Structure 1
Amino acid sequence: MSPPTKSKYEMAKTVVSTIGSVAAAAMVARSVARDYLPPEFQDYLYFGLRGFINKFSTHLTMVIYESEGLSDNEIYNATQIYLTDRISNDIHRLKVSKSTNDNKINTTIELNEEFTDIYNEVKFMWRLVSKKTPTREYFSYETMTQTTKSDEWSMVLTFHRKHKDLVMNEYFPFILNYSKTKNQQDKTVKLFTIDKNNGYSKYETSWTSVNLDHPSKFATLAMDPDVKEKVMKDLDRFVARREYYRKVGKAWKRGYLLYGPPGTGKSSLIAAIANYLNFDIYDLELTDIKSNSDLRRLLVSTANRSILVVEDIDCSVQLHDRDTVEEAKASARKKDDDAAAPKITLSGFLNFIDGLWSGCGDERIIIFTTNRKDKLDPALLRPGRMDVHIHMSYCTPSGFRLLASNYHNLTQHNLFEEIENWIRKVEITPAEVAEQLLKDDDPDIALRGLIEFFEVKKKENEEAKIKAQEEEERLAKEKEKMQQDKLVAKEDNLDAKEDEKKQESNESNKSESDENDDN
């Protein structure tokens, strides 16, 4: 070994030995301090030493905690999503998880694992840390669940302090936007329904969810093509107008009314909208809600980018504040029944869809369905509450061709013309056509079965029209008879009053006559 090489070797050996001695001394000092010094003095030394080292450090550290009080920290959740997509081969430990409701396996950084991210040619060091805290319970209004925690998780970000403005003004906003887009792309659409037994107290209701696996898409929806295109354009326009809604001072929401006979595809259209926008569905059953305050609380607990559905609005609950005198008297005779009935008023419901509470959230769609549009209160139908009215009609020739393509991969058949002629003459719903097409895998047998069904349906419709006409005539006769009875009763009442007046007059005359005789 040459003298220069030997000299370098001895120097390296001395440095390593010195580092080892210092490390050993530090460990001894740490052990002695931990065993013999009070905790307050230990903290004083620790923070003093850290403050001394920080004076010479060129780096800045930011701590992003998992939650702030009872609310989740949006930046923490965003960094989890962002860093998951940035994981490289340099990381040696990953945490793998999959919940029951998720369709994919998730990977994230393991505890205390470090990861370097580069943004605008600047290095950022990330590390996931956790520390033990006293066990505590709290109720989350965002997830509507009771949670117990004994660990405090946080993401630690370290970077050169000269890039602080870059982090606050560009890096964090970039992470938030990235995670929002990614989360929406990978989102599993859920269907929420009311759960009476899962509230904060036994007297409250809350939402519970399942995955929405409904396969309905606009491409397979048996609707009029023009109406379908109109709906899709309106949805695209709505989701792209965030700044416009803010500019005009209007809540970012859109109301739809789907009306038409049963079986015309109202529920399928709702599922298609949810799949198209990747929005969750909240199925609101008004009969499960006790009061206007419960209605407001449920509204506040719904998430942004969601669809609120109120089906069969005409018959789900009586929304009338403006009773006639007769209705008021009838209500007075049913106090016991009214005490058990839902206490949602029309004014409370309108405030929910178009008042101050409607602004609690962004990018929401409210969909109402009804079989009888004429039975709805006019106050519900005006723009701002139900902005778009969509008539779900009976099956059309174009709707039938789409169903034939979906169910039997048919674009042409020698029976199509006959079936389309039947469709123009007989009212039949898309659901009924689909049911007939499902009955056999052989297209010829299925289509001939559909033609036979048309013949049966025609007779049923004619019989139904005759019954409806007879019922209408019966009601008209009953109404006429009631009017006649009222008229007769009125005449009898007048005659009775006239007889009473005559009797009073006769008695008065007789009394006067008796007085004259006495005189």
Structure 2
Amino acid sequence: MEFRQIISALILIGLISLIIRLFLKRKIRITKLIRWCELLSDKFHDHQLLQIPEFNDNSQENHLFRRVTLYLNSLESLEDSDNTNLFSGLNPNDIVLTLSSDQTILDTFLGARVSWTYRVLPPTSCGGETRYVTLRIRTRDKRRVLRSYLQHIHAVSDEIDQRKRVLRLFTAVGCGGRWRSVPFTHPATMETVAMDVDIKNKVNLDLETFLKSKQYYHRIGRVWRRSYLLYGPSGTGKSSFAAALAKTLSYDVYDLDLAKVGDEFDLKLLLLRTTPRSVILIEDFDKYVAAAVANAAAAAAGGISAVMNFMDGVVNSCCDERVMVFTMMTKDEIDPAILRPGRIDVHIHFPMCDFNNFKNLANNYLGLKEHKLFPQVEEMFSSGATLSPAEIGELMMGNRNSPSRALKSVITALQTKSSIGGVCGGDENCRVTTPKNGFRSGRNSLDGSVDGGGFRDGAKEIKKLYGLLRKKSILGKSQSFDLGT
């Protein structure tokens, strides 16, 4: 009797457990049942497969691929799909679902059922992967809904892009002209960059004018592109300025290291595969040019040629809405033909720190607008002592809890630098000066006819060129500007 009771109890527990499992997983089971029925129904219909690769036949990014993957990653069916990737977002609490290789996503549009399969082929010897998505759709539905469906994908992806746009930092991977990206989260802004206020205002005006000039550029037959040359000693803020420029424009950044590019063909592919609304950053360009001139690297001359062709050759015609930024220590030994107007539009000099920049740094790092030690710091700068903004910034960061101690450390560093010869290294013929800032014509910026203290009739020239820039007419001419010469 007791044995029968135990058996009955076990059977009852099993039934209850089964009922609970069926109840809890009813939604999942119903979803799978519906999917099986749909798959069975599909067996009796003709289908077409439409493949969308990441790159087109011209080795340029296929924007439809990006839109489709953005759309698919937003579908609720992604959560019910097998083999989905989970990543952490920009915020620690964010969980992001993304497609995995060989994963299939189901979707419905205007009564038509479609499936998408995402595939990633293994890397080649050059290190680049091949990615594409395949759309499977009934033949009869293709004629009825395909065009509307693709328009729907465009609209949804654009809305997601506007709402969740994250700037990306791209770096070259292997050979074959491939890029890989990570979120671009550099904190620099135009407000935090240590730079003369007048120059900063002129740069902001130039960027604002550029963003509004698409129709103007096309009307005069020029590619909608802008190029900047940032030159000055190390630690003067060139890289931070480039990051701030990208943040101001809300452009992605392509960090192109010419020394790591395989050959001229790969370089052309990399440049062609940059996307609109992007900043192409080439740092230490003078070192690469010097290597080419000295024939130290056979690929260097070809690399420079590829960059120049991208800037003003026929290949340039397919690269609208881009900004190129070159950084270098000095432009004195660079062939003027490389920096001529039409290739480089704006020259910006980044000098060693002067007292005005020091005050900007003190405000940013220490929250100081005035201090009793400021006159002593100003006197040190007036005597010719100087440091780079990076050096002063580090001293202020290390003593940020005590502004007075931070300023004293800066004074001590200036005294030390002055006692050992400063930036001149003890050369009695070297004179430390802080150049004045202002616009300068491309011709004067290249032929060396203007001394380091400014230019002839400076006020008149600034007023004239500033007015031309505001009218946008300056953009249509082969001229460049020099900020801070």
What is the match of residue 95 of structure 2? 105
1:107 CA displacement: 5.8
What is the match of residue 360 of structure 2? 402
Tell me the alpha carbon deviations over residues 182-202 of structure 1, each in whole angstroms, 9 at most, x when there is no partner.
42653433333344xx334xx
What is the match of residue 215 of structure 1? 187
Distance 1:391 1:303, change over 3 A: same
Give the whole-Å Cα distance in 2 for the aligned partners of 1:373 and 1:211: 32
Counterpart mapping for 1:75-90 below 5 A: 75=64, 77-78=66-67, 81=70
Stretches of structure 2 lacking an aligned partner (at least 5 in a row): 1-38, 431-485
Tell me the alpha carbon deviations over residues 357-400 of structure 1, each in whole angstroms, 9 at most, x when there is no partner.
22332211111112212111111222221101111123243432
Distance 1:352 1:68, change over 3 A: closer
Q: Which has the larger radius of gyration?
A: 1
Q: Indicate whether 1:152 and 2:130 are aligned.
A: no
Q: Indicate whether 1:67 and 2:52 are aligned.
A: yes
Distance 1:253 1:402, change over 3 A: same
Give the whole-Å Cα distance in 1 for the aligned partners of 2:170 and 2:79: 36
Judging by fraction of residues, say which structure has more helix.
Answer: 1
What is the match of residue 262 of structure 1? 234
Report the count of equivalent residues: 380
Conserved in 2, the CA contact under 8 Å of 1:264 and 1:431?
yes
Tell me the alpha carbon deviations over residues 318-361 of structure 1, each in whole angstroms, 9 at most, x when there is no partner.
3768xxxxxxxxx8xxxxx7676644275444213211122332
Counterpart mapping for 1:258-297 below 5 A: 258-297=230-269
Give the whole-Å Cα distance in 2 for the aligned partners of 1:342 and 1:432: 32
What is the match of residue 278 of structure 2? 306
Conserved in 2, the CA contact under 8 Å of 1:307 and 1:364?
yes
**1:241 counterpart (206, 213, 219):** 213
1:294 CA displacement: 3.0
Q: Indicate whether 1:435 and 2:394 are aligned.
A: yes
Q: Indicate whether 1:192 and 2:178 are aligned.
A: no
Give the whole-Å Cα distance in 2 for the aligned partners of 1:154 and 1:219: 50
Give the whole-Å Cα distance in 2 for the aligned partners of 1:138 and 1:462: 55
Give the whole-Å Cα distance in 2 for the aligned partners of 1:177 and 1:388: 37
**2:338 counterpart (366, 375, 380):** 380
Tell me the alpha carbon deviations over residues 420-442 of structure 1, each in whole angstroms, 9 at most, x when there is no partner.
34334433321121122122221
Distance 1:343 1:80, change over 3 A: closer
1:225 CA displacement: 1.2
Which secondary structure state, in structure 2, belongs to the residue aligned with residue 281 of structure 1?
strand
1:154 CA displacement: 5.4
Tell me the alpha carbon deviations over residues 395-418 of structure 1, each in whole angstroms, 9 at most, x when there is no partner.
243432332232222233222333
**TM-score scaled to structure 2, two decimals?**
0.63
Stretches of structure 1 lacking an aligned partner (at least 5 in a row): 1-29, 35-41, 51-61, 117-123, 322-330, 332-336, 471-519
Distance 1:180 1:448, change over 3 A: same
- What is the identity, as a one-letter code, of the residue corresponding to 1:280? D
Give the whole-Å Cα distance in 2 for the aligned partners of 1:83 and 1:341: 42
- What is the identity, as a one-letter code, of the residue corresponding to 2:393? A
**TM-score scaled to structure 1, two decimals?**
0.60
1:146 CA displacement: 2.1
Tell me the alpha carbon deviations over residues 456-486 of structure 1, each in whole angstroms, 9 at most, x when there is no partner.
222233683643639xxxxxxxxxxxxxxxx
- What is the identity, as a one-letter code, of the residue corresponding to 1:458? S
Which secondary structure state, in structure 1, belongs to the residue aligned with residue 222 of structure 2?
coil
Give the whole-Å Cα distance in 2 for the aligned partners of 1:463 and 1:173: 60
Which secondary structure state, in structure 1, belongs to the residue aligned with residue 227 of structure 2?
strand
